[in-house]
C-alpha cells in the first residue's frame, strides 16, 4: 500500500477548488479531483483561523490525517487529490477520531458510488 502524501503546492489546492468535485459534510467541505496518471493518494487539509487558535487547528489537522490513514487501508482511492476544509462552526473539543472518520467515510462512499 502506498503512503498518504501531502498536497503542498498552492496550484494543486487551487486546481482542486476550481475543477474538483465538492462534497459537503456537517463539519467539513471535501474537494476531490481524479488524477489518472498517478497511483498515489494526496491529501491537503485547510483550517482557517476562524476555527480557533493554533492548538485547535492542529488538532483538526491531526484528526483528519489519521482518519484518512485508516480509510485508505480499508478502501482504494487511487489517483485522487483530496482537500478537506474545516467549517467555521466545528467544535474541536468535542470532536474525536471516530466522529471525523465516520463523517468523512460517509461522504467518500457517496463519491465512490457515483464514480
31 and 17 Cβ atoms separated by less than 8 Å:
yes
97 and 63 Cβ atoms separated by less than 8 Å:
yes
Beta strand segments in 47-101, E: 80-86
* C-alpha span between 82 and 51 (Å, rounded): 20
**Whether the predicted pLDDT of 86 surpasses 90:** yes
Average pLDDT, the chain: 86
Q: Return the CATH architecture of domain 5-106.
A: 2-Layer Sandwich (3.30)
Please give the share of the chain, as a percent, with pLDDT higher than 90.
51
Q: Backbone dihedral region of 79: left (phi > 0), alpha (psi from -120 to 50 degrees) or beta?
A: left
- What does the block give as the cell for 67? 482518519
Amino acid at each position: 500500500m502506498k503512503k498518504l502524501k501531502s498536497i503542498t503546492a498552492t496550484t494543486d489546492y487551487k486546481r482542486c477548488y476550481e475543477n474538483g468535485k465538492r462534497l459537503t459534510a456537517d463539519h467539513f467541505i471535501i474537494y476531490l479531483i481524479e488524477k489518472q496518471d498517478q497511483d498515489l493518494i494526496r491529501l491537503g487539509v485547510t483550517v482557517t483561523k476562524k476555527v480557533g487558535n493554533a492548538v485547535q487547528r492542529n488538532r483538526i489537522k491531526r484528526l483528519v490525517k489519521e482518519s484518512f490513514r485508516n480509510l485508505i487501508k480499508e478502501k482504494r482511492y487511487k489517483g485522487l487529490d483530496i482537500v478537506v476544509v474545516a467549517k467555521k462552526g466545528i467544535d474541536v473539543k468535542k470532536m474525536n477520531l471516530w466522529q471525523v472518520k465516520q463523517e468523512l467515510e460517509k461522504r467518500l462512499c457517496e463519491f465512490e458510488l457515483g464514480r
